[in-house]
Structure 1
Amino acid sequence: MLETTQIKQRLPFIDLIRGITIIEMISYHFLWDLVYLYNADIPWYKSHGAYIWQQSICWTFILLAGFSWHLGKKHMKRGLWAFGGGVVVSLVTAIVLPNDRVRYGVLTLIGSCILIWILLDKVLKKIPAGVGVSVSFVLFLILRSWTKQDPIQLSDNLLNVTWLKSVLAYIGFPQAGFSSTDYFPLLPWIFLFATGYFLYSFLQEKGLINRLFGKWKVPGINFLGKHSLIIYMIHQPICYVVAFLVSEIF
């Protein structure tokens, strides 16, 4: 049945999950700085386990972004802020870390998805939520596997068109020579965003939103979750400085 009680625009447990994920992200990036900028010897960080950790952080952010679409009204503002944050990260890393620059990172993806959903929301609402969750997640898994194993490559003539290469990389078809230390193109990740979007609707139909996400508040961590974008923007310079100090001391 459709949930009849009013759903809060801020769900404490969602902020808590996002806050925990922010802490994980800061920890991951701090270790990245130690390993790749200051040559710290941390073998585990280059293992498959560390990769799974990194992916779980990003999956959570993207799922929550889709889920949280329903909790706010200023979608244009939120989308532009996230997309703009992604542009800033790309520009700063291109200047400060040209060999490790970020192109089409997770902020760019989330901002893009929010802006795209402004156009798609009315249509997607007509899709049964259970079907939407299932189809979106299956498409995400299929496309994630396909784009990793069989990327589409253009002919040499087309590769001379710089803007076309950029557009293809943004969509999910990077060409030879493309690199990014944080790469989340539209395909397949837009379908993980869609999974979160439909998951909210599915749980709402079952009357579970407030029951599952309306409590569980941990003040300090919830604060991080509420201000995740600004923390994302400022955490890397702080990690960089702290990692430098740690490398100098130890």
Structure 2
Amino acid sequence: MTKRKENAVKYNNTSARYAILDELRGLDLVSMMLYHGCWDLVNLFGIQADWYYGLPGHLWQQSICWVFILLSGFCVQLGHHTLRRGAQVFGAGALVTAVTLLFMPDDRVVFGVLTLLGSAMLLTGLLEKPLRRIPPAAGFAISAVLFALTRNVSAGYLGFGSLRLWLPQTLYANYVTAYFGFYPWWFYSTDYFALLPWLFLFWAGYFLYGVVGRQRMEPLHCSVCPPLGWLGRHSLLLYLLHQPVIYGALLAVFRVLGS
């Protein structure tokens, strides 16, 4: 093989999508759709399911958001135009908020996961140069520690376990403070992901990319389940559409069963 062909093959391999990452995102999207379908059944159709608001449901919900946010941060360095992508996702989050406020005010979404991801992408794009100067292993460790320390800011303190630093209640004032993680008692949202602590999980994924390294990611080019990959590549559109589609399908089923 000539050197030109070797370079061409190398370029094609590194420029191709990492199919496993798309499929992992698609799998997480399916899990999220099932979780939201259960939410509809419990909250809108009156199905009794104590496990949903117990530990099993909590672990399910956390697994979805952890994978989604960590993977989003990881994939930032695989793409381009981070600021533009962040603006698109943030705009999609604003659309979700507007629609729920207009048509489902009792189940409104304020500062949901799309708003978080859009904000994280915008901040990462703006801070890209200083972030790239941080060694990946150190960045990952620092982000993980900061995520753990800020995990309970919504509960009023920094730290974990018995190590707690209580924060002044004046921080928990309004919608602006709620955006950062300090929400007042009257704040309500059915899907709430503030900058703190979730930005640090996003950045943990961002630095994890450097820890893993592109060479060790070569096996991720191989596809295991193409349909999941398709879902993963269209995750933003599917996220916007899945809830009304699921609700409509469940409504039709319950009307048929009730007739």
Distance 1:192 1:86 in 2: 19
Cα deviation for residue 194 of structure 1 reads 0.3
2:162 match: none
- The yes-or-no answer on 1:154 pairing with 2:170 is yes
The 1:152/1:182 distance shift into structure 2, 3 A limit, reads farther
TM-score by length of 1: 0.89
1:151-179 Cα offsets, whole Å, 9 max, x none, are: 65228xx95xxxxx121010110012001
Q: Give 1:147 deviation, angstroms.
A: 3.5
Q: Is the 8 A contact 2:82 2:121 kept in 1?
A: yes
Residue number in structure 2 paired with 1:237: 244
Asked if 1:128 corresponds to 2:135, the answer is yes
Gap change, CA 1:152 and 1:111, over 3 Å in 2: farther
1:200 aligns with 2:209: yes
Report which of the two structures shows the higher radius of gyration computed on alpha carbons. 2
Shift in Å, 1:50: 0.6
| Match status 1:50 vs 2:57 | yes
Match of residue 223, structure 2, among 216, 222, 225: 216
Off by >6 Å, runs of 4+ in structure 1: none
CA contact 1:19–1:224 (8 Å) conserved in 2: yes
Q: CA deviation at 1:103?
A: 0.5
Unaligned runs of 5+ residues in structure 1 are 160-164
Deviations along 1:18-70, whole A, 9 cap, x unmatched?
Answer: 00001001101111011101111222212111111011101111111110111
Partners of 1:34 and 1:244 within 8 A in 2: no
Question: Within 1, Cα distance between the matches of 2:187 and 2:229?
Answer: 37
Q: Is the 8 A contact 1:63 1:192 kept in 2?
A: yes
Structure 1 residue 225: deviation in Å? 0.3
5 Å matches for 1:40-189?
Answer: 40-150=47-157, 152-154=168-170, 159=173, 165-189=174-198
> Aligned Cα RMSD in Å?
1.8
Relative to structure 1, is the Cα distance of residues 118 and 9 closer, same or farther in structure 2, using a 3 angstrom cutoff? farther
Cα distance in 1 for partners of 2:243, 2:125 equals: 30
Identity of aligned residues (%): 41
| 8 Å contact kept, 1:67–1:196 | yes
Q: Which has the higher contact order (CA 8 A, sep 6+)?
A: 1
Corresponding residue number in structure 2 for 1:12: 19
Range moving further from structure 2, 196-205 or 183-192: 196-205
Q: Does 1:29 align with 2:7?
A: no
**Bigger shift: residues 110-119 or 140-149:** 140-149
Q: What residue ranges of structure 2 are gaps of 5+ in the alignment? A: 1-9, 158-166
CA shift in 2, pair 1:105/1:236, >3 Å: same
